[in-house]
Chain A
Amino acid sequence: MNAHPPNGVWDSLRQSRTRRLERAASLGFGKEIPVDRIIDLLEAVIQPGDRVCLEGNNQKQADFLAESLADCSPERINHLSLVQSVLALPSHVDLFERGLANRLDFSFSGPQGARLAKLVQEQRIEIGAIHTYLELFGRYFMDLTPNVALIAAQAADAEGNLYLGPNTEDTPVIVEATAFKGGIVIAQVNERLEKLPRVDVPADWVDFTVLAPKPNYIEPLFTRDPAQITEVQVLMAMMAIKGIYAEYGVTRLNHGIGFDTAAIELLLPTYAADLGLKGKICTHWALNPHPTLIPAIEAGFVESVHCFGSEVGMDAYISARSDVFFTGADGSMRSNRAFSQTAGLYACDMFIGSTLQMDLAGNSSTATLGRITGFGGAPNMGSDPHGRRHASPAWLKAGREAYGANAIRGRKLVVQMVETFREHMAPVFVEELDAWQLQKMMGAELPPIMIYGDDVSHIVTEEGIANLLLCRTPEEREQAIRGVAGFTPVGLARDKAMVENLRDRGIIRRAEDLGIDPRMATRDLLAARSVKDLVRWSGGLYAPPSRFRNW
Chain B
Amino acid sequence: METLEFRFDSKPGVRPDHPALCGVVGSGNLEILVKPGDQPGCCQVHIKTSARGFGTTWRAVIGDFAASHPAGGTAIAINDMGATPAVVSLRLAQALAEYQGGAR
> Within 8 Å by CB, do A and B touch in the complex?
yes
Residues of A within 8 A of B (CB): 230-232, 235, 419-421, 425, 462, 486-487, 492, 518-521
What would be 24 A-B contacts, judged by CB atoms less than 8 Å apart?
A231-B87, A232-B84, A232-B87, A235-B90, A419-B84, A419-B86, A421-B85, A421-B86, A425-B57, A462-B86, A462-B89, A462-B90, A486-B86, A487-B57, A487-B61, A487-B64, A487-B85, A492-B60, A518-B90, A519-B93, A519-B94, A519-B104, A520-B104, A521-B90
Q: Are A425 and B54 in contact (CB under 8 A)?
A: yes
Q: How far is the CA of A519 from the CA of B93 in the complex (A)?
A: 7
CB distance from B52 to the nearest CB of A (A): 11
A228 to B60 Cα, complex, angstroms:
28
Provide the main secondary structure of the chain B interface. Answer: helix
Closest CB in chain A relative to B45 CB, distance in Å: 15
Give me 19 other A-B pairs in contact (C-beta within 8 A), A232-B86, A232-B87, A235-B90 excluded. A231-B87, A232-B90, A419-B86, A420-B84, A420-B86, A421-B86, A425-B51, A425-B54, A425-B84, A462-B90, A486-B85, A487-B57, A487-B60, A487-B61, A518-B93, A519-B90, A519-B94, A520-B104, A521-B90
**CB-CB contacts of B55-74 with A at 8 A, as 1s and 0s?**
00100110010000000000
Name the B residues within 8 Å of A519 (CB-CB): 90, 93-94, 97, 104
- Chain B residues with CB under 8 Å of A487's CB are 57, 60-61, 64, 85
- Shortest C-beta distance, B74 to chain A (Å), equals 17
A420–B85 CB distance below 8 A? yes
Identify which of B64, B86, B89, B90 gathers the most chain A CB atoms within 10 Å of its CB: B86
Assuming the contacts A231-B90, A235-B90, A518-B90, asked whether A421 and B97 have C-beta atoms less than 8 A apart, the reply is no
Bound-state Cα–Cα, A419 to B89, Å:
13
B99 vs chain A, min Cβ distance (A): 12
Q: How far, in whole Å, are A230 and B86 apart by their CA atoms in the complex?
A: 11
Please, how many angstroms separate the alpha-carbon atoms of A514 and B87 in the complex? 20
Contacts between the two chains (Cβ within 8 Å), count: 40
Which of A230, A421, A487, A520 has the largest number of chain B CB atoms within 10 A? A487
Shortest CB-to-CB span from B60 to chain A, Å, is: 5
Q: How far is the CB of B47 from chain A (nearest CB, A)?
A: 15
Report the bound CA distance from A419 to B87 in whole Å: 10
Would you give the shortest CB distance from B77 to chain A, in whole angstroms?
A: 20
Minimum CB–CB distance for A420 against chain B, Å: 6
What is the chain A residue whose CB lies nearest that of B89? A462
> A420–B93 Cα gap in the complex (Å)?
18
Within 8 Å CB of B84, what residues of A? 232, 419-421, 425
Complex: chain B residue closest to A521, CB-CB = B90
Q: Chain A residue with minimal CB distance to B64?
A: A487
**For residue A462, which residues in chain B have a CB less than 8 angstroms away from its CB?**
86, 89-90
Interchain nearest-CB distance for B91 vs A (Å): 9
**Residues of the B chain whose Cβ atoms lie less than 8 Å from the Cβ of A230:** 87
Q: In the assembly, what is the distance between CA of A462 and CA of B85, in Å? A: 10
Min C-beta distance of A162 to chain B, whole Å: 47
A518 to B64, CA, bound (A): 16
Write out the residue numbers on chain A whose beta carbons fall within 8 Å of the beta carbon of B104.
Answer: 519-520
Report the minimum CB–CB distance from A423 to chain B (whole Å): 9
Q: How far is the CB of B100 from chain A (nearest CB, A)?
A: 12
10 closest pairs, A vs B, by CB? A462-B86, A487-B85, A421-B84, A232-B86, A487-B60, A519-B94, A487-B57, A419-B86, A487-B61, A518-B90
Give Cα A425–Cα B88 distance, bound, in whole angstroms. 13
A231 and B97 alpha carbons, distance in the complex (Å): 17
- Which chain A residues lie closer than 8 Å to B61 at the CB level? 487
**Residues in chain A near residue B89, CB distance under 8 A:** 462
Residue of B nearest to A487 (CB): B85
**Taking the nearest CB of chain A, how far is it from the CB of B56, in angstroms?**
8
